[in-house]
Amino acid sequence: MLEIDQITIITGIIILALTLGTSLLNPYLFKVRIPKLPKRGKGYTRRKEMDVQSEDADKQTDVQVDLLNRKGKDQPVSIIITAHDEKAELERNLPLFLYQDYDADFQVIVVAESHESDTEYVLKKLKKQFGDRFYYTLIPDTSRYMSRKKLQITLGVKAAKYDWILLTTPTCHPDSSSWLKCASKYRTGQSNLVLGVTNYDSKASSYQRFEHIFTALSIVYQAKHGIPYRTNMPYICFRKNEFLKKEGFRNNLELIRGEFDFLVNKYAKEEGTEVTLDPRSWLTEEAPTDKTWCDLHLCYCATKKKLKHTIRPRLISAFYLLFFHASILADIFSMVWGGITSKWIIFGIGFIALMISLSVRWMAGRLAIRPYDNTIPTILLPFYELSLSWHTLYYKLRYLNTDKYDFTCHKL
């Protein structure tokens, strides 16, 4: 016989309150709407999708983008790519940046290391092929005890002919010849910085693609609501004059990496930051190696201490994950306790609450993640989300056990 005593009532109320709370405090609900592209049919490829001109996608972009489209004017832009031992990536991806159907003038600048003879050979070959549209320079080996990546960016900015700078890496590439035109819609007279969106290619694991997009969801939402503070995607646009006027990377030169985070953190304005929401303006990023993936997390552990306006978004993200963990653990505990003590009502409440929590995560997660990547298995989304905390803890512990000089230019 099923008995409803005081313990059953109290337990049921707690479980249902946690379930309701975790359903409402859902990070997937705080997302920015992505314009829809034509439906993917049989024989779909990413390149085919990006080449299709969709009137529906244009109608769903924001007002500023639509106004700029009607004007039909592209702005000159300098694309800067910094390279370090990435000959193969440059040879594979650089021509895709140079073959762009763009109404205004643009240039591609590559800043590489002077000791990389193979890389220099590739750059010389591309220079002969593309002429004035392509420019490259090399930083000397004597440039020691400073962030070589930040030095590369600074040299590239100074060499740029145009005020708008588009900064990315050799591991990224556009998927169509109309990419630059689509991205130009966000470089308006009112904006001073544009956050670009990148997606990992199919060689990345589903967890890597999930974490990349899950992190981006919060960053994009914060940027669109007036709190741009960082980016996890190596693709941004900023203005040369502002960069030089504010002395580039001054105040964070001691750290070797974190260049994209620092640029957004220093130069992004509440009312002047745009995000490339049109999927045709995104870049595809090659899957990171295990070492690169680890380095990304360890470097962020070092750089986040120097970033402004990060406390609030970090606390919000931590609270959402903590609440989700608490709800799932409470559901599982009530089921185990109910089964051991034969309190089947408590067992049933725990089971129903668990199914509700997971179902809400599945549905909301699918709606939020799918516009970026529809290949991530929906059923794994809540489990990937739960594992984020443990991955974060793992990298924090690894960072605490590393030599902090590995992340700093300590002889500056």
| pLDDT, tens only, 93-105 | 999 999 999 989 9
pLDDT score at 135: 94
Token pair belonging to 342: 């034969």
CA distance 134 to 159: 12
Give all strands (DSSP E) within 93-233, no chain letters. Answer: 106-113, 134-139, 164-168, 172-173, 193-195, 198-200
Measure the CA–CA gap between 147 and 302, rounded to whole angstroms: 14
* Mean pLDDT computed over 214-223: 94
> Mean pLDDT across the stretch 17-35?
87
pTM comes to 0.86
CA dist 200 and 373 (Å) reads: 9
3-state class percentages of the chain: helix first, strand second, coil last, to nearest 5: 55, 10, 35
Convert the pLDDT of each residue in 245-296 to its tens digit: 998 888 777 788 899 999 999 999 988 899 999 999 999 999 999 999 999 9
**Mean of the per-residue pLDDT values for the chain?**
86
Confidence grade of residue 167 (pLDDT, cut at 50, 70, 90): very high
Torsion of CA 191, 162, 280, 286, to 10 degrees: -110
